[in-house]
Amino acid sequence: MKPIVLGLVVLSSLILVAFCVQAVALAAPNTGNISSGVFYAASSRAATLRFEFKLAQNVLFNRAGSSEISFINPFTGKDVALEISKGEPYPSDPADYLQRLDAISLKLEIPKGTKAGVYDVKLIADVFLCEAVLKVCYVEQTPGSFELRVAQTGRDTPVKLEYMRPQR
């Protein structure tokens, strides 16, 4: 066999093996939904942001990939990235998967002199998930938002991120 043909045979074999592994990575099936949160803070104080997660039955968080919630701080213009990595291990494979994710909290400083008002903040959640029955893994990229209400009072509402099972 010539080197080019042999190389193609080897490459084809590797591709075939990649599709035969237990969990296959797929494009995101659009199973994520983010419910907007509302947070209140006085000027020159901190707002406590809270992000809560809900995974449908048989949807697992995959520890192998990078998962985060990111947004731009509306007061500084700097990127904020919150790592998603903690929760309840999946009993069948606790080293690689979580069956429940812990909530994430962040204190976001409101600079002195910030004008009173509502600040709408766009976010993106990139979460590496697997479906245990179908044995497929995917990165779910879900856009969302939350409001920061400066110099107003009220009860904070957390951002809720929910992930359903992908369809067959």
Mean pLDDT of the chain: 86
Write down the domain spans for the chain. 23-163
Residue 43 has pLDDT above 60, yes or no: yes
What span, in angstroms and rounded, lies between the C-alpha atoms of 27 and 149? 36
What span, in angstroms and rounded, lies between the C-alpha atoms of 50 and 56? 20
Q: Quick one: which of 136, 53, 50 has its CA closest to 99?
A: 53
Residue 80 has pLDDT above 80, yes or no: yes
Over residues 63-71, the mean pLDDT reads 95
Residue 25 has pLDDT above 80, yes or no: no
Please tell me the predicted confidence (pLDDT) of residue 15. Answer: 32
Q: Read off the pLDDT of residues 113-124 as tens digits, 9 standing for 90 and up.
A: 999 999 999 999
Please tell me the predicted confidence (pLDDT) of residue 28. Answer: 58
Homologous superfamily of 23-163:
Immunoglobulins (2.60.40.10)
What span, in angstroms and rounded, lies between the C-alpha atoms of 165 and 168? 9
